[in-house]
Structure 1
Amino acid sequence: MTAATHRTAEEIGRTEQGPRPLPPLGEQRAAADLSHVDTVLGNGLRVLAVRKANVPLIEFRLWIPFAGEDRMHPARAEVLAETLFTGTVRRDRVGIDTELALIGGDISSGVDPERLIISGNALSSGLPTLLDVVADSLTGASYADAEVAREKERLIERISIARTQPRTIAREALQKHRYGNHPATFETPEATDVAEVTAEEVRALHTASVLPRGSALVIVGDVDPQQVVADIEKALSGWVSDASAVRLPALPELTGGPVLLVPRPGAVQSQIRLSAQALPRTDPGYAALQLANLAFGGYFSSRLVENLREDKGYTYSAHSGFEFTDQTATVNIDADTASPATAAALLETRYELGRLALVPPTKDEVESVRQYAIGSLVTSTSSQAGLARQLTALVSNGLGLEWLAEHPTRLAQVTGEDVEKAALGYFGPKRFTGVIVGDADLLAEKLTAVGDVTVGDPAV
């Protein structure tokens, strides 16, 4: 018997006439076909309820602006997020967990310098119980001394571990390099600050900052949008305040500049993090910029990945993508490389930035990233959880389901000239600044020879 011959992926992807063409995207149902209600309740809370009844479940996302400029705010906010659902006057931690388990539900909260996010899910029949637990916690979370002490210990341990991780070190260095002492930079509190937080301070922060006015709630699932809005208004009738949730102060605009080498003695790998000002989703030019970014480094077949990973072997993964903060946006580039390849990787990254601006994506490149952008958007919103995540990101900018429904059309209408203009305007190497975290003894001489790199103080 003759042994079977296996074709390689490259052989499968090609024919005698050339590369095998990708099949076109099929016709997609518009998100606007989903019935929904988008309204503001009497307490100032925006509610976006969407019927997506493919499974008998619901997804719940409550977005609360949660900025603060006090030095201790990040620590108090983290402790609050960890203890919000550990008990109320009516329920203790076990009671909350038991009621959620009976409806197949789960709930959690997380915080960053911009917002407090409460995420939950449950069987659609259990929505009244989920709303009651959430309302009870929003209006009567007790933050018992014992619960606060327990969660502080866990949080301190996690922070101590996180601060040893290269990616955390790189992120903090990038934030401080970009924005100095702006409140947005305090993403991970100091463990010593967490240790000082008291239950009384957490309760005071809840009263002052967990507010409905200016916040937004997204609920997606097997619901009647009209009825669920009425149910939410009734359940949250006790959550009221004349004050508004605190939004993050405007970020300073990035203007480019030298890359900062942050010494990390003994590191065998380096973290390259570059950043430039971009366009928010509300800008008419965003769709073209999105396609330009994909062509540069936004997906696996991008120019940056082809150069740094496939051709040079400098990194396992290189990527560029958008970061949205309040009403602003940046485009960020990240790559982790072995120390000997770091200077060359920075040089090639700058080369690809310049090449994108001067040698714009071809017609085939534009069509490839267009299909990817539309297809990935459809895929990411195909589940209830995915749609809820997308809508939660949009409501922070005052957008909603209509923007999501119309975005595939905007992407389809982008021309090659639009992408070329976006690439030239936003991807020039001089527009970027950033940091490289690595062993300065090995990197400083080569990086300074590459140019536009300064050496900073040793990382703590």
Structure 2
Amino acid sequence: MMDVITKPDPGPSREYHFPSFDEETLPGGTRLVVAAAPKLPIITILVVFDAGAAEDPAGKEGIARLTARALSEGTSKWDGAELAEKFEQMGTSLDTGADWDSAIARVTVLPGNLAAALTLLGEVLADPAFPEREVERLKSERIAELLQLETEPRGLADERFPAFLYRESSRYARSQGGSAESVRSLTRSEIDAFYRSRYTAGRTTVIVAGDVKKADVRTLVTPLATALPRGSVARLHAADIPAPASRAIHLITKDGAPQSEIRVGHAGLPRKHPDFFPVLVMNAILGGLFGSRINLNLREKHGYTYGASSSYDWRRGAGPFEISTAVQSDVTAAALREIFAEVERMRSEEVTLEELSLATSYLEGVFPIRFETTSAIASALANLIIYDLPRSYYDEYRKEISRVTAATVLKAARDHIHPEELQTVIVGDTGQIREGLTSVGAGNISVAPAK
């Protein structure tokens, strides 16, 4: 007779402490944050600038992203290829980019190359040349990217969705990378002016994580900080006011498309909202995990899709709340009904203890393994700076998750998901799917071409 082995109950979670870090403000206003992690024999240097896409002037959308990408294209001393080779000789590469709230430059090196890497990085950040030829190449790449998105339903849905959530005057209503029109209008001199006004010492934070000592880092970083542009401009706050619209469906025509790309949502919440943790758990249950309600419904129960999810795009302003999936054209209306039903169910009744435990256990369990590299530690520290979070945020994270209850999840859903405001964008074969959508009850239906 075979012995039956009973699976043991899990023990209590081990206490977690985020790596300790020190911070100070250097002469000129640059912030320095140092996280010593001697068990990791490498060092990540992450320079964060208050120069994200929310800073794009009206009509110049895309300038933040283009400026960040152009940083690595050369200085007055080295061209882009020479810079890349010099970083390669140190066993690393320079990564630059921008999102909605910041621009970054990042390198990861062995401790013996720290001084050389900071010197070269300082040249890149203090003396970018923005060569005309490379600026035009980067502009052409963005315009080509947009042309490609027009042919690909998933990218097209993602690109067009925000315009239906926010007022036309909002920066959030337009793509982070800019439109073909706005990018085409950008000039080298405008990029240089954006750099000189936003990449200043007072808008910069240098984060160093790894096998380092603070005193050594301060000595090495000070020349970089001193060489940055001076001056300051007031931070632009992205207008995140929702579009004054009732529930509606917006069809974007892709004749002959076998699938419908579906996006449903409305303007969400800013990152520093006091309900962040209840909303995080609520979204995990609704559509943030593989075992979430929306995915289990559309994928497992009905077989409409390979995957469906929901998410909040956390920004300084209220980024989008979005439900996303792709289904066969003939079940578009049925899938949309199930999405709305799950939204209503989330707002009408408490989640089960099993659902709550699954979500909180996952969020608590994966949290510590997110910070096992110097790059991850540096990125986490950047988030503290960008979103002005408390120093204790990472040490308190799992406690905050554990405090969320079924009642607070229900309150979060009722307070922050608004069925009457949901905008639905569907990229697909309008002729095949439109008639079925009239009975869904998702609002007025409008049709637009892909271009």
Is 1:119 the equivalent of 2:110? no
- What does residue range 328-347 of structure 1 map to in structure 2 within 5 Å? 328-347=318-337
CA distance in 2, matches of 1:415, 1:255: 33
Given that 1:210 and 1:245 are in contact with CA atoms closer than 8 Å, whether structure 2 keeps it comes out as no
Partners in 1 of 2:428 and 2:31 — Cα distance?
Answer: 45
Query: 2:186 aligned with 1:201, yes or no?
Result: no
Matches within 5 A, 1:175-190: 175-181=162-168, 182-184=170-172, 185-190=174-179
Which residue of structure 2 lines up, in the alignment, with residue 417 of structure 1?
407
CA drift of 1:227 comes to: 3.4
Residue pairs, 1:86-97, within 5 angstroms: 86-97=73-84
1:436 is matched with which residue?
426
d(CA) in 2 for partners of 1:448, 1:24:
52
- Mapping 1:135-146, distance limit 5 Å: 135-146=122-133
Q: Which amino acid aligns with 1:102?
A: Q
Higher mean displacement: 323-332 or 299-308: 323-332
Contact 2:197–2:231 (Cα < 8 Å) also in 1: no
Q: 8 Å contact 2:347–2:410 — kept in the other structure?
A: yes
Distance 1:349 1:107, change over 3 A: same
The question of 1:370 aligning with 2:360 is answered yes
Question: Which of 174-183 and 38-47 deviates more?
Answer: 38-47
Q: Which residue of 1 aligns with 2:373?
A: 383
CA shift at 1:208, angstroms? Answer: 2.8
Shift of 1:348: 0.4
Show the counterpart of 1:63: 48
Q: How far is 1:294 from its partner?
A: 0.9
- Among candidates 255, 260, 264, match of residue 249 of structure 2: 260
Q: CA 1:413 to 1:455, structure 2 compared with 1: closer, same or farther past 3 Å?
A: same
Is 1:456 matched up with 2:447?
yes
Q: Give the secondary-structure state (helix, strand or coil) at the position aligned to 2:201.
A: coil
Contact 1:391–1:401 under 8 Å retained in 2: no
Provide the identity percentage. 24
Counterparts of 1:79 and 1:68, CA distance in 2: 11
TM-score by length of 1: 0.87
Out of 449-458 and 249-258, give the one that drifted further. Answer: 249-258
CA distance in 1, matches of 2:248, 2:369: 36
8 A contact 1:357–1:428 mirrored in 2? no
Amino acid at match of 2:358: S
Q: Could you tell which deviates more after superposition, 273-282 or 80-89?
A: 273-282
Instruction: State yes or no: 1:301 paired with 2:291.
Output: yes
Amino acid at match of 1:442: Q
- The alignment's TM-score, normalised by the length of structure 2, stands at 0.88
SS in 1 for 2:280: helix
In the other structure, the counterpart of 2:338 is 348
| Residue aligned with 1:296, SS | helix
Could you say which residue in structure 1 is the equivalent of 2:67?
80
- Given that residues 322 and 332 in structure 1 are in contact (C-alpha distance below 8 angstroms), is that contact kept between their aligned partners in structure 2? yes
Q: Distance in 2 between matches of 1:193 and 1:284?
A: 36
Q: What displacement does 1:56 show?
A: 1.6
Q: Which amino acid aligns with 1:333?
A: I
Q: Does residue 235 of structure 1 match 2:236? A: no
**Match in the other structure for 2:159:** 172
1:347 match: secondary structure: helix
Report the CA distance shift for 1:309/1:255 in structure 2 as closer, same or farther (over 3 A): farther
For the aligned residues, what is the CA RMSD? Answer: 2.7
Are 2:44 and 1:53 aligned? Answer: no
- CA offsets per residue over residues 224-278 of structure 1, 9 Å max, x none? 2343244323322111422137434231147773133222231222122122454
Which residue in the other structure is 1:270 paired with? 260
Residues 72 and 130 (structure 1 numbering): CA distance in 2 closer, same or farther, change over 3 Å? same
Change (3 A) 1:410 1:78: closer
Change (3 A) 1:336 1:215: farther
- The whole-number CA distance in structure 2 between the counterparts of 1:415 and 1:148 is 51
Q: Does the 8 A contact of 1:295 with 1:366 survive in 2? A: yes
Distance across 1 between alignment mates of 2:338 and 2:280: 22
Distance 1:301 1:130 in 2: 44
Do 2:238 and 2:317's aligned partners in 1 also have CA atoms closer than 8 Å? Answer: no
Q: CA deviation at 1:202?
A: 2.7
**1:123-171 residue CA offsets vs partner (Å, 9 max, x unmatched):** 2322222222222122211122333344444444333323432222112
Letter in 1 for 2:236: R
Which sits farther off after the overlay, 354-363 or 89-98? 89-98
SS of structure 2 residue aligned to 1:228: helix
In structure 2, the CA distance between the partners of 1:445 and 1:390, relative to structure 1 (3 Å rule), is farther
- 1:367-412 CA-to-partner distances (Å, cap 9, x unmatched) read 1111101112222122222233333233211125421121111112
| Structure 1 counterpart of 2:212 | 223
Matched AA of 1:141: P
Matched, 1:43 2:32: no
Where does the alignment leave 5 or more consecutive residues of structure 2 unmatched?
none
Supply the distance in 2 between the matched residues of 1:73 and 1:269 (Cα, whole angstroms). 31
SS of the residue 1:271 aligns to: strand
